[in-house]
Structures are given as C-alpha cells and as structure tokens.
Amino acid sequence: MRLTIQQRKLLQRKREEWKANPGVFAKELFGDNLWERQIDVLTELFRNNRVTVKSGHGIGKSKLASIAVLLWLLVHDEAIVVTTAPSWRQVEQILWNEIHQLLGKSTEYLGKYRLSQTELHFKPKKFAIGISTDQSDRFQGLHAQNILVIVDEAAGVPEMIFDAIEGVLTSSNAHLLLIGNPTNTSGSFYKSFKSPLYHKMHISCLESPNVVHDAELIPGLVTYQWCEERKKEWGEDSPIYQSRVLGEFASEGDDVLIPLTWVERAVKRSYSFAKGTDWEGANKCIGIDVARFGVDTTVMTALVYPKVVKVVHMNGKKTTEVVGAALALSQETGIRNFAVDDSGLGGGVTDLLMEKGFNVYPVNFGSKPLRDTGRFRNLKTEMFWTLREEFRLDRLVIPESIPEYLEELPHLKYEMTSDSQIGIVSKKKMRSMGYDSPDFADSLAIALLGAMQLQDGNDELDEEWGSGEDTMVNDEGYS
C-alpha cells in the first residue's frame, strides 16, 4: 500500500529518531525488543563507515542484521543494501528468512514494496539484495550514494568477496558491517580487528540478558544453561569455547596439531562427486577406534574420500556388538574396507571382520611409521600428521551434524621428543589437561590411513584424489 501524505511527513520526522535509537525503530515497526548490544551495533553503524563485530553463538546476529537492512532503507529516500554470507543457505534461509518474518509483522511506514526470495524493492533506486559467495560478479554495478553492505558469518567468507565488496564502497555514505563468530585467525574479518579503518565491537554470550539473569527474557537468545554446558563439555581454555561462547579469536598455541580454523573450513565445505565417478570405485574405508567399557567411546567413521559420510558411536559394548554395528554400517554405505585400532580390545574386532571376508587393515599406534624418514615417533604420529595435512590443504569434508569433531580435533597437540622427532601428546596427558579421549579424531585418522592402504595396493593418497566437483549443496548423506 502507498503511504498517505500524513504518513510520509511523519516518516521524515521519524528518520532521525530511528537512526539515533534503532531500538525504537524495531519496537514501533515490528514489535521486537532488541537487547542492549544489538542496539549498540545498529547505532554505531550510522556513526561509522565500517563496523566489525566478533560475537559468541546465539546473541541475535541475524535479527540485528535484518533490522539493519530495513532500517537503512527506511531512513533514506534512495539506498541499496547488499547482504552476503559464506553459503547460499545462510543467505536465503537465515538472514533473508528473518527479513521475511519482520515484514510479515508490520506494514506501517513501509508503503508499497516488492519482496522475492532474497530481494526487497521499494523503487528502482531503493532496494536490498542477497548475494551468495559464488556470485562475486553480482557486486559489479551496485553503486549508490547511500549503500550498506552486510557480511554475515564474516569469518567464513572467501577473500574474493571482500575484494568485490571494496569495489562498491566508493560513495561518500558507503557503510560496511562485518559480523560473525571469530573462528578464523586469518583473512579479512580477522584483519579488520587490527585495522584503523574499522570501529571494533565484541559481544560475548555471557552478556546476554538470558545468561545474566538465568531466565529466558528474550526468546531465541543464548541461555545460561547452554553456556554452562559448553563450559563443562569444552573447557574454558578450549579454542571452541573461546570462539563460540566468549566471542574471541582462539588463542591457539604453536603445539596445536589441527587448528580450529581448519576444522571449521572442513565443516562448512560441501562436496559432491564429479559426474561419472563410480561410488563403488571411490577411495573409502570405515575406521574403527575400539573401546569396550568405561568413559571412552567406540567410534566408526565411514570415509569416502574426501568426505565423511557416516559416523556411528557407542559406549559399553561387547566385541560382538561392535562387529554387528560395523557390519550394519558396511551394508548401509557399501564400504567393505575396514581399518581397526588393533591394539588391545580392537584385536577381536579385526579377527572377526577378517573371518567374514572383509578387507581389514590392522593399525597399531605404537608401531613404526610406514615411511622410515626418522621424522615421526611412531605410526600414530605419522597417521595424525597426514590427517593434519589433509585439513591444512582443505581436502576433507566433515559433517556439521557431528560436533565432536569440532570439540576434539583442535585439542590435539604434538611435541618434539629428545631426539628431535615429532610425537602426538598421549591420551593420558590430555586427560590430565582436562580433555576427553579423542575417540572421534582417532577414528577419522584410522579411516584415512585405511583408505590409503587398502585402495589398489597404494601406500599413500593419490594426488588426484579430491578432484571431484566442489558444489554449494546441503548434502549431509552419501547418496
């Protein structure tokens, strides 16, 4: 609907009030109560051309960004807002879904507009658009005197997108908002906190009113219970707690084997096999880290290189039950290659699987490295260093639905022995440091080693592995 003359006059008076107090804007138009830090960010966005915000999980980033989109458009006669995020799903289903919900709450002051999946048009020179990170060319030609670019989950956005963004920030009233969890200690988002160009802001989960008062004062905001559970599960000194709860860039030491940054990239990466690639001929293996009773967990990782397609875990199971679960996983995935932690309890699993005719590679962590270079203390070290390189080179894809990878992998540490060899810090020592046994990490490393050893007699990964087509799809399975 079109605004009346009286509404247009009222809108002109309201604009300065809304810029000075965005909380009033959110309340008057959509009935939403923003909390203090959301209002702070929106206020600074009008005072500074560049604002960068590192935050914990669940502090209302998407609501903040969606309000920013609508506020920017409503306080200008002509304006453009561009939003982007690491994946199309995040653009469409998170931020723009929030925009759709807000627009459904109120039409006051909005007037006539046209809304599609990721575009909002008031008139030809007054609109907002969502762009994915594989669409950098769409930034070209987006110029206006009043332009706002919002980068959601900024730590995961490719550098080429930041280059494209700089090309549209040429007008006198061009503003940029970067916001996200500080999971990556490199790249433009990290560098923005060292740049004099940016107004820097930080929001911890512990500041949330729900956490401060231990009550759900604002539905959907992070809770006290969640923070306490993460503290117990991850530990206050862990990189993932620092990033996801405290909203700080993780302070990882030089002895960290696989930094959180690398694991986060593997979780966010999607992969599908190139056309014509035969699933049955792919490099694959089920890695089994065996535990019987106690606090440790038996974990089975089904790897179809470079993608983890399924993970099964169990506690307190007999050897026969472990084998039964392994057979079920083999039938489900079509994988007949197994690599098993053969030391201790795993020996029985190895024997039973061999009796049933499967290809089984026994892994003894304490045995000699496969390549006698003198660099590694034992096979375990060589195996985990290989896993480290796969993460470093961005070759692996692991499911977001298995949070244990994010919890365990960044805790792995290595050390130099007295004879200048590399060794992996033992489970016993890790427990003394307050960490759980890295059973999921062990299973993944075992699966990778098995895939190397059991495919066509090769003793190392083919350099052409991972040449399948990377596509931005939300595929959590293996079909």
Give the residues across from 307 on adjacent strands. 304, 397
- Within 223-316, where are the H helices? 224-234, 239-244, 260-268
Q: Which carries the bigger pLDDT value, residue 16 or residue 6?
A: 16
- Which of 274, 262, 230, 85 lies closest to 165 in space, CA to CA? 85
Closest CA to 263 of 402, 376, 154, 157: 402
Does the pLDDT value for residue 466 go beyond 60? no
Query: In this structure, what token pair is assigned to residue 312?
Result: 């099964």
Mean pLDDT, all residues of the chain: 85
- Is 90 exceeded by the pLDDT of residue 241? no
Element (H, E) at 398: none
| Bridge pairing between strands 422-424 and 126-132 | unpaired
Mean pLDDT of 401-429: 82
**pTM of the model as a whole:** 0.66
More confident call, 232 vs 189: 189
Closest residue by Cα to residue 325 from 163, 443, 214: 443
Q: Which residues pair with 138 in a beta bridge?
A: none
Q: DSSP string covering 405-470, please? A: HHHHGGG-BEEE-TTS-EEEPPHHHHHHTTPPP-HHHHHHHHHHHHHHHHSTT-SS--TTTT-SPP
What value does the mean pLDDT take over residues 115-121? 93
Q: What percent of the chain has pLDDT over 70?
A: 86
Q: How confident is the model at residue 43 (pLDDT cuts 50, 70, 90)?
A: very high
Cα–Cα distance, 119 to 139 (Å, whole number)? 14
Q: Which H/E stretch holds residue 350?
A: helix 346-355
Residue 407 confidence (pLDDT)? 82
Taking residues 321-328, report their average pLDDT: 94
Residue in the structure block whose two tokens are 């260093």:
385
Tell which residue, 203, 208, 195, 247, has the closest CA to residue 48.
Answer: 195
DSSP state of 256: B
pLDDT band at 461 (very low <50, low <70, confident <90, very high): very low
Domains of the chain: 5-203 (3.40.50.300), 260-454 (3.30.420.240)
Conformation bin of residue 214: beta by default, left when phi > 0, alpha when psi is -120 to 50 = left
Contact indicator for 370, 459 with CB cutoff of 8 Å: yes
pLDDT classification of 7: cutoffs 50, 70, 90: low
Which pLDDT band, with edges at 50, 70 and 90, does 223 fall under?
very high
Q: What is the pLDDT of residue 200?
A: 96
What are the pLDDT digits (tens) for 137-191?
778 778 888 999 999 999 888 888 898 899 889 888 999 999 999 987 778 998 9
Please give the residue that has the higher pLDDT: either 357 or 456: 357
pLDDT band at 118 (very low <50, low <70, confident <90, very high): very high
Residue 84 and residue 51 in contact, taking contact as beta carbons nearer than 8 Å: no
Contact between 39 and 23 under an 8 Å Cβ cutoff? The reply is yes
Angstrom distance (rounded) from CA 126 to CA 134: 24
